[in-house]
Amino acid sequence: MTDPLKTPEIIPSLFAADPLRYCDALKAVERSECRRIHLDIMDGHFVPNISFGASVVAAVAKEFPRLFREIHLMVQNPQQHFEAFIKSGAQRLFIHIELAPEVLAGAVHCLQSKNIDWGFAVNPETSIETLQTYQDWISKTQHLLLMSVHPGFCGQTFIKETYERVKELRGHFPHLKLCIDGGIRTPEAQRLQELGVESVVMGAAFFKKVSV
């Protein structure tokens, strides 16, 4: 396991675990003393993969209530799913800033009317300049999930340009709590901690180090 004194908070990604052993994987997360679990929701359209739905989130909430449940919605129309995931026990929702502007505007307005913590997810190809054009919306949240791989599949290599993107984000949006997601192992986590990153999502690297 990683040393919590030398890395940001580790948030295990359930999608990286063996789907036939999710319960064992979640028990391993609890034993590791991690406080949060990351749940990737994919619709096969926004990203070229399909994962799981609100029923899995509900099962996690019921059997592992100690784990804070953050939901990464990689879907084309997140607003139509908000109610189901909130009812299932989601405690934080991430929506992608790359959505069509009218879809994003509706989703942000809807989230502000809900009693739910939320933030934006950002793909690697989305420039910091583009994010600045959404400054008014970004100011409405404290959380940003910065992807360090192209979303949709586990086992990808960490994109090293992420380090510079973190520095730029810190300069333009100092109020944000940054979480980095994708291809992160201990060396990347340690470097990100040096840059002031509060948390990282860790999938394959985490579950290889715990007894599931």
CATH number at residue 181: 3.20.20.70
Range of the domain at 113: 9-207
> What are the catalytic residues?
40, 181
Q: Is residue 143 part of a domain?
A: yes
Q: How many independent structural domains does the chain possess?
A: 1
Q: Is residue 4 part of a domain?
A: no
The pLDDT averaged over each successive group of 10 residues in the chain (212 residues) is 66 96 97 96 94 97 98 96 97 97 95 95 96 93 97 90 97 95 96 96 91 66
Q: Is residue 1 part of a domain?
A: no
Q: Is residue 3 part of a domain?
A: no
Q: Is residue 93 part of a domain?
A: yes
pLDDT for res 211: 65
**DSSP string of the chain, one letter each residue:** ---TTTS-EEEEBGGGS-GGGHHHHHHHHHHTT--EEEEEEEBSSSSS-B---HHHHHHHHHH-TTSEEEEEEESS-GGGGHHHHHHHT-SEEEEETTS-HHHHHHHHHHHHTSS-EEEEEE-TTS-HHHHHTTHHHHTT-SEEEEESS-TT-SSPPP-TTHHHHHHHHHHH-TT-EEEEESS--HHHHHHHHHTT--EEEE-HHHHTTS--
Question: What pTM, to 2 d.p., does this model score?
Answer: 0.94
Q: Is residue 212 part of a domain?
A: no
